[in-house]
Amino acid sequence: MSVQKIADDLFFNRMDKAQTVKTVQDALTGCHDGELFLEQRFSERLTLDDGRIKTSAFDVSTGFGLRAVYDDTYAYAISNDLSLPALKRAAQSIQPIKRNHTNAELFLPSDEPSAVLYTDINPLPLIPFEKKVELMKRIDSHLRTKDSKVAQVSATMSGEWQVVKIIQANGRETADVRPLVLLQISVIVKSGDKMESGSFGLGGRYAYDRIVSEDVWKKAADEALRVALVNLDSVAAPVGEMPVVLSSGWSGVLLHEAVGHGLEGDFNRKGSSVFSGKIGEQVTAKGITIVDDGTLPNQRGSLSIDDEGTTTQRTVLIEDGILKNYMLDRMNARLMNKQPTGNGRRESFSCAPQVRMTNTFMTNGDKKPEELIASVKKGVYAKSFHGGQVDITSGKFVFTSSEAYLIENGKLTAPIKNATLIGSGIDVMNSIDMVADNSCLDNGIGSCGKGGQMVPVGVGQPSVRISKITVGGVE
């Protein structure tokens, strides 16, 4: 069954389709842009803590958002009542945006056919609830049996099935059916008076079978335990300016926060990003290419269409250090006289779309990962991060590692605790002097916050060497 039929069967058994389309077109006549966003989302979350199921939740969310856009402003009306009367009330409520304006020329960017990037199967009912509970308990038992230092085990299993239908101001219809699953495991280990933690997660736009097979969840659980045991032996992080090697994959969260947000079109149109007005200029060291790609099959940040109905694409943002493009939704693309890049995203029907990343990563370089570590006499190898904070305007950031090691005379030695990287996005990007050939995305655990909305994303990079960055810690 096509995604269009799945969406139509779901939404238009409650409201007449022809009348819905006509109401949307009438409401948006005279606007620059706008759309009706219909959504139904089924979601579940199961949490285990200390051998017992702590929470179990199931939710169905249904509703629509109707947006009218004029110039750089918009009116947005929402309802969880999928009915024609509710839509007509919403249409009336957005009319004031057109007062005192002459009719606008409708923005009609080029339409590209969308690819099928993931299954349309609802993952939630494929595995019985009892089997999910049993799996969570097996994770707990496996870890406690594996090592006597295990003091606490937590695990979360979540899934959702989102169906969306988008009707634009010109009557164009698009639809998408989006699965999403996630398994996260956390372990606390104890030795004497010292306690440390480790975690690991994986997920993506597929069914549960990818994460519930025994070899997969055991590897995830063992990795969480490994990180916890490493941290149990950690020493204080060094302080000062020094070379730092970042690992491939999840370390791309630093790239996402410190650089990715600064390449979103709204910040650049308003001149509030460090990258504003720098298209065609060298903004990072040569050899660095950064891409946002929403077309990667089954990835957490991928979308066949964005939440405005635009087909997602691979957008080269920085190529060999030169700024090439920004990520754009429809409104910012129109105001900047460019084509949208499929980066208009929203958390749910209750939120208006914003410019957001999908899967953002750095591409391969020409070095081997071991060459980067071997080149450092004294420094830090950061394998993974808890997260951090960034100021979009200045590009300054602070990130704290969840797993890191000292590098001494070209070799990894002692694990270190809470090594904090302090710097600015542009400075760091210009301080990268070695890029490895092992670029990959994270395991499918990323979520990004902006303007009070959270959306799933992918991050990634190859291993890179930063020639000099401030490391904060405790001497």
How many Å apart are CA 173 and CA 77, to the nearest integer?
19
Residues 20 and 108 in one domain: yes
Q: What is the pLDDT of residue 475?
A: 45
Cβ atoms within 10 Å of 210's Cβ, excluding its own: 16
Last residue of a domain, one of 210, 232, 254: 232
Q: How many CB atoms lie within 10 A of CB 422?
A: 14
300 and 426 belong to one structural domain: yes
d(CA 91, CA 264): 30
Q: Which residues pair with 26 in a beta bridge?
A: none
Kind and range of the H or E run holding 253 = helix 252-255
Residue 222 sits in the same domain as residue 249: no
Instruction: Say what the pLDDT of residue 148 is.
Output: 96
Residues in the chain: 475
Give the per-residue pLDDT at 100.
60
226 and 260 both lie in a single domain: no
| CA atoms 414, 420, 423, 429: torsion sign | positive
What's 15's domain CATH number?
3.30.2290.10
Listed residue (156, 107, 139, 119) closest to 216, CA to CA: 139
The pLDDT value given to residue 474: 53
226 shares its domain with 369: no
**Rounded CA separation 170/349 (Å):** 20
178 and 41 share one domain:
yes
Measured CA distances, 440 to 155, 203, 359 (Å) = 25, 15, 11
119 and 40 part of one domain: yes
Q: What angle do CA 209, 215, 216 make, to 5 degrees?
A: 55
> Is residue 467 domain-shared with residue 356, that is, in the same domain?
yes
Distance from C-alpha of 428 to C-alpha of 435, rounded to nearest angstrom: 13
Measured CA to CA in angstroms, residue 444 lies from 13, 176, 210, 224, 292 at distances of 35, 20, 12, 15, 15
The answer to whether the CB of 471 falls within 8 A of the CB of 380 is yes
Residue ending a domain, among 232, 249, 274, is 232
CB atoms within 10 A of CB 409: 9
The residue segments making up the domain with residue 14 are 3-232
Final residue before a domain boundary, out of 188, 203, 232? 232
282 and 374 share a domain? yes
- The helix (run of H) or strand (run of E) holding residue 58 is strand 52-70
CA distance 357 to 355: 7
Q: Both tokens of residue 69? A: 């856009």
Domain count, the chain: 2
Q: Could you give the CA distance from residue 313 to residue 311 in angstroms, rounded to a whole number?
A: 7
The answer to whether residues 208 and 345 belong to one domain is: no
DSSP one-letter string for 101-143: -PPPPPP-PPP-PPP--S----SGGGS-HHHHHHHHHHHHHHH
List, for the chain, all residue ranges whose pLDDT scores fall below the cut of 50.
475
Same structural domain, 406 and 275: yes
Q: Specify the 3-state DSSP secondary structure of 84.
A: helix
- Whether 177 and 299 map to the same domain: the answer is no
Give the pLDDT score at 102.
64
Exposed (0-12), middle (13-18) or buried (19+): which is 301, by Cβ within 10 Å? buried
Q: What's the rounded Cα separation, in Å, for the pair 373 and 41?
A: 46
Distance between CA atoms of residues 314 and 297, nearest Å: 12
| 3-state SS class at 218 | helix
Task: Report residue 302 CA to chain centroid gap.
Answer: 9
